[in-house]
Every structure is written in C-alpha cells, then in structure tokens.
Amino acid sequence: MATQPFVPKAQSCNAHCDHHSMPISPTSSASGHVHTAMSTDGVPVADSPARPSAERAQPALNPHGLATRVSPRSSSTAGRVSLPAVSSRATGQGGHTQWNLRDSATFSHGIKEDASKVAAFGAAAQQGNAESLKFVAENVNPNLLSGMLRNAFGAATGSGPAALKQNCVYCSKAADQNLEALSSGAPTQFWVASETSAGNLPPQGKDPRSVTKDASMEDLIKQEIAPGRRGIISVPQRGTAVANHAMNVVRAEDGGIHVIDGQNSKLYDLSSQIDQQAFQVKFGHNGGPCLARFFDTGKAPNLTATSDR
C-alpha cells in the first residue's frame, strides 16, 4: 500500500543538539524506513543534480536526516587527525563490506586524543564492560561547562543558536573511537570531543526510520543494531520537536543494550528497569514528524573484569 510523503519542516535551534536544516522530502515505507531520492554520490537529487566541486559546499544530513550545508573548509584535510584502522565492519550479501560511518571523510572532525585519560581508561577496561562504558560516557565531553558558556554568549550576541548543549555528534564520534579501542582489546588511546558547536552526520548509510507515537526507541534499536554490534544513533527527544540527539549503542551478544549519552555523561543500561524507564521518558515521538537514524559502526566490546577471569 502506497503511503503519502511527508516533508519535515526546517528545524530551528534547541537545547542539546541544534541544527539549521533544509528540508528534503522522504516517504515512509511499510517497514518504517524513510526513503529519499539520492544520487550515486549519496546527495539528495533535488538538492544537487550535478556532482559538487571541491570548492562547493557539500550537503550532509544532520541527526534529523535532513540536508544541511557544510562549509568547504569542513571537507578539507586541514586539522584532520589520523584514526586507527577499523577492525570490524558489517558485511552484506555476498560478503561485501557495507559503508560504515567511520569511513566518512569528516569522521575525525571535532574530536581529538586526550593522553591524560589513557591510564584511567585502561584501568576501567580491566574492570569489565560496565566500568569501561561508564568511563567513556563520563569523559568524552570535557568541555561541557566551558562550551555551555561559549554557546550562551553566542546566543546572547546573536552569533549562534539559542542552545547551551550542541555537540552530541562529536561526543558520539569520540565515544565510538573509544569503543573501537575496547573491542580491539587495545585501549591505548582515549578520544574526546574538541568542538562544542553542532555537528552533522553524513548522508550515506541506512534510510532514516519514521518514529510513530507508539514506537519504543528500545524496540527500534533492537531492530537496527544486531547483538554483538555497536552503533551511533540519532533519535528524537520528547518535549522538543526541533532537534534530535546523537548517542552510542552497545549491544551485547546476549542482546543486552547500553546507551552512552556522552554529551550529558550518562550511561543507560536498558536491562535496568529504572534506566529503561528514564530512557523511554526522554527519547521518542515528540509531537512532530520524527525521524531516527541508526549507524552500525562495528563490533561491540565484550570485556570481563580481570578478577572474573
């Protein structure tokens, strides 16, 4: 049965994650995925019929799944840091490796290594999954307070959006770098968000999911992130219809789910009824057209405490 297309409105700014956006016109499939016409470049066809040049601003999708503009400077190699090779990729039919968010040319933007946290990170890893995930959640956003002050000044002077917290995308990328280190068994680096402004997620990857009023975010995570895998998610926040929130999911082989909200130093263990309720109250349908995005980024860490070995 054909469904009627809906067009999300261009979004203004709000606390947590703020993105100026330009609407595209997705349509929902029966499975709940939202399909958007894309060129072979992964660019919305209606936005740019020709392949953009290196000097032209490159379109990307913010956590809403809407097209935004990134300045040409963002796509340059200036200030880019080298990342360790990813040891695990999801594979599709025929054994072909699927595109991974970590392959994006801008994945390293807005994050940096923090050598001062490496020893403590290694010590947390020795205590198993729960402690290592908690350490990641509590340490990837070291500039939270200074960033809030900077963003408040920008809002007051009209030079930035009216939001105190904006850098959830950068926090989620830094967290994924640390989860990759844990999954490889070599937590010898620790990554943090270096930017306090808003970031963008690239247009490649799975189609966005439409979030209905009765949808459970936990159920959507189970549908999109397989056991033994991890990912970056972008989900709507209840109570605000203008901004999604980017976080990390770690799903254990037994199906257990942890969600890392690095921007807010919060770890949700969805096997805990208290955390499950808190997560469901905070994230889900927000009264407007809602889209969620899910990126499988690799193998989930599976650590046991040294004392349990």
Characterise 306 by phi-psi region: left (phi > 0), alpha (psi -120 to 50), beta (else).
Answer: alpha
Q: 97: pLDDT confidence band, cut at 50, 70 and 90? A: low
Average pLDDT over residues 202-216: 86
- Of the two residues 12 and 26, the one the predictor is more confident about is 26
CA–CA dist 65, 21 (Å, integer): 9
Instruction: Determine the pLDDT at residue 287.
Output: 81
CA–CA dist 5, 14 (Å, integer): 26
Average pLDDT over residues 52-78: 37
Instruction: Determine the pLDDT at residue 223.
Output: 95
Q: 305: pLDDT confidence band, cut at 50, 70 and 90? A: low
Write out the two tokens for 37. 């016409």
Instruction: Determine the pLDDT at residue 12.
Output: 31
3-state SS class at 34:
strand
Average pLDDT over residues 34-56: 34
Instruction: Determine the pLDDT at residue 60.
Output: 41
Asked if pLDDT for residue 67 goes beyond 50, the answer is no
Average pLDDT over residues 85-109: 66
Characterise 32 by phi-psi region: left (phi > 0), alpha (psi -120 to 50), beta (else).
Answer: left
Quote the DSSP letter at residue 213.
Answer: T
CA–CA dist 140, 179 (Å, integer): 11
Q: What mean pLDDT value characterizes the chain?
A: 73
The helix/strand count (H/E) of the chain reads as: 6, 12
Asked if pLDDT for residue 275 goes beyond 90, the answer is yes
Q: Which sign does the torsion angle of CA 188, 176, 191, 130 carry?
A: negative
Write out the two tokens for 125. 């890893």
In this prediction the pTM is 0.71
Q: Which range (100-109, 159-168, 239-248) has the least confidence? A: 159-168
